[in-house]
Amino acid sequence: MVDLVKDWRNDIYAVFKDLDITMVSHVPDAGHTPLINLCEKDNEIDVVTLTTEQDGVGLSCGAYAGGKRSALLMQSSGVGNCINALALPNICRIPFLTVVSMRGEWGEFVPWQVPMGLGTPKVLEAMDIKVFRADYEEEVGSTVDAAARFAFNTNRSAAVLLSQKMIGAKQFKNG
């Protein structure tokens, strides 16, 4: 367990530790980077870098079949890549947890992020995923905790959307 200062990423990490989540897969996103770094420093957490987000769904289900809990970290743009893969935890009643950093919704600079940002909650709900959202730093820990317990206690899929309002929208500069 790494010593923590007050930061919402640390709150997510604390939930992972509390609920024995020992595998974290991701296609990286800047919003998740401090959390990924925390997990990489922890010898008890197996961090898997994916080439595409949907592989994190299968990976997570296989790990659970082997008795290991995991979480998939991704950006909202990755949610669309996962849709058919999400049939696997659904039909096999395997708990599945993902934490999604939102783009394309609050002060976004890049128009290409908007379609999947708008679509993210809709497509997750269309696939029967229970969607949780955290808009403020102080509710991140309790929201991820609630989503993880929902997933692992009821053998269902849960997603936490981390609001771009909270993460902050990067403003790009040319040159």
**Which residues contribute to the site for other proteins (CB under 8 A)?**
23, 46, 48-52, 54-68, 70, 84-85, 87-88, 91-94
Q: Which C-beta is closer to other proteins: that of 60 or that of 76?
A: 60
Q: Which C-beta is closer to other proteins: that of 62 or that of 119?
A: 62
CB of 159 to other proteins, least distance (A): 18
Alpha-carbon distance of 4 to 109, in angstroms, equals 32
Q: Which C-beta is closer to other proteins: that of 68 or that of 149?
A: 68
Reading the block at residue 62, the tokens are 């296989």
Which residues lie below 8 Å from residue 62, measured CB to CB, with a gap of 6+?
A: none
Which residues lie below 8 Å from residue 84, measured CB to CB, with a gap of 6+?
A: 54
CB of 138 to other proteins, least distance (A): 33
CB of 21 to other proteins, least distance (A): 12
Q: Which C-beta is closer to other proteins: that of 65 or that of 126?
A: 65
Alpha-carbon distance of 112 to 46, in angstroms, equals 32
* Spatial strand order in the sheet of 130-134: 46-49, 21-26, 69-75, 96-101, 157-162, 130-134
CB of 122 to other proteins, least distance (A): 21
